[in-house]
Structure 1
């Protein structure tokens, strides 16, 4: 049974007792998402790009997608957003999320609900500039188009909790699906993960982590 918790910036995260892990940092769900995925990922790809194909592994609450929508709309960047989430939230859980009180107001509330209500595997037009598709398949099982994605949000649970999500076969599949100069960003900074990424062909950068974390990881496909 998922537990709702308030993080330090006032926004919700969810705690899974069976994994003993939360969906976001206790220091701030919205703040962490902005730091790791928006500032280090999305905004880094804005230059010279008026459209982006984004893959998110670990859709979770939909927070990363929602913040991407707001920031991309503000910058007039078209987004084709494809996410993977084998264990989606229920609509009852989605309706309890309080992100709208921190960012985006009623539009955030409606947006999160629209994401979670979208039909599985079907492309949904969220706006003229934002196409969304969520899929319940696991990354290990789904086929991904080659040389397609400009940006990958890798937001799976930690390697200690879900080691199967941080393996070479998984990252090789993602590498093949990424375009040249595409970025992968993740909150994880473990040396083993970085070595795996390098073995798959990525160039790996160490960036300052969010709040209590010293580092995060950004990987580039050259």
Structure 2
């Protein structure tokens, strides 16, 4: 059975030992917290994070080192635009140490807040109880985590004194998020926080099929936030019916992604739209039955990219499509033209090139005189459709 990526093995072993000892009647919480500190990584805002297991010899932290709790506010809570709503329902996927839900509770003063938290690892839930709280609201999440550990026979003592306010309801699911989602109600959540490890590490939580489930459970005016800007993730969102725009850049070179069933924000950059629409980098991860492992999902995408590259789509090498309608850099001109000509685009200013990228412009540049499109999703889908027509040699009746 596939096991989702979680924190490193030494942390798992440590926490299991202390959970077992507590269940036998020993009061070892303080000792466990002290031992856990050797693995905690202090981030720039003073909050802590933990490292993942190593895959291919590499590990990554659960949060940005530029500030774990600040990231929760800036990349998840604030972009969700929940300030003027009451009776809020939020789905917190890969809730980890509980920072995103804690920031939500602190920032949003709604009449009622319901949070469904999904975390695959009981040891990470325990770590959320043991880690120093970065803000007072985190102790509310700690109490919910502790109650889950007690209810499931993994802990023996109630030691978190903070009460969960009457207007806040927290339910925790400890399992692979792919198992939880199909049981959740349709059009239910005002916001979804998607905070898994990176797509190369946890592709199963970024597939087209997973995004289709998120599209099913989010309200029509709900907002999905994630820290990643990866092209296959954004492509999956678009194919699942989401509109997308770039989120805040906090702690990273690029912004995250904000998605919603309704048009939202100013959209992506033209270059990003083209790379998703026209190249093999826009092939999403696939997981047809929501049960495949990391390696199988990655292998499937590599195979699909290999099939479409130079046949149905442009290769992503040299960022070929960003030069449509632009002068070529002398250094890579020959290779870029070779990529374009393989699918019927003779040069960067040809009628085919202008026809494909025309949807991005405020006024028609190719003579098609089609209506202008207002969202990245619409432009990406239309450019992909036009590339298909060019590839198939369909007549393009454009006159400048």
TM-score for both structures, normalised by structure 1:
0.87
Which stretch shifts more, 86-95 or 179-188? 86-95
- Please tell me whether residue 36 in structure 1 is matched to residue 70 in structure 2: no
- Please tell me whether residue 174 in structure 1 is matched to residue 174 in structure 2: no
**How many pairs align?**
209
Alpha-carbon distance in structure 2 between the residues aligned to 1:63 and 1:92? 14
Offset of residue 70 of structure 1:
1.7
- Please tell me whether residue 113 in structure 1 is matched to residue 142 in structure 2: yes
Query: How well do the aligned residues superpose, as a CA RMSD in angstroms?
Result: 2.0
Select 2:60's aligned residue among 7, 17, 21. Answer: 21
SS at match of 1:55: strand
Contact 2:95/2:195 (8 A) holds in 1: yes
Select 2:252's aligned residue among 212, 216, 220. Answer: 212
Quickly say closer, same or farther: Cα 1:147–1:22, change in 2 above 3 A: same
Structure 2: stretches of 5+ with no match in the other structure: 1-9, 12-38, 152-162, 263-400
More strand by share: 1
Which residue does 1:46 correspond to in 2? 83
Contact 2:129/2:146 (8 A) holds in 1: no
Offset of residue 94 of structure 1:
3.4
Alpha-carbon distance in structure 1 between the residues aligned to 2:220 and 2:79? 18
Quickly say closer, same or farther: Cα 1:133–1:219, change in 2 above 3 A: same
**Structure of greater relative contact order (alpha carbons < 8 Å, 6+ residues apart):** 1
Offset of residue 86 of structure 1:
1.1
SS at match of 1:160: coil
Higher gyration radius (CA): 2
SS at match of 1:15: coil
Alpha-carbon distance in structure 2 between the residues aligned to 1:24 and 1:34? 12
- Please tell me whether residue 138 in structure 1 is matched to residue 176 in structure 2: yes
Contact 2:75/2:248 (8 A) holds in 1: no
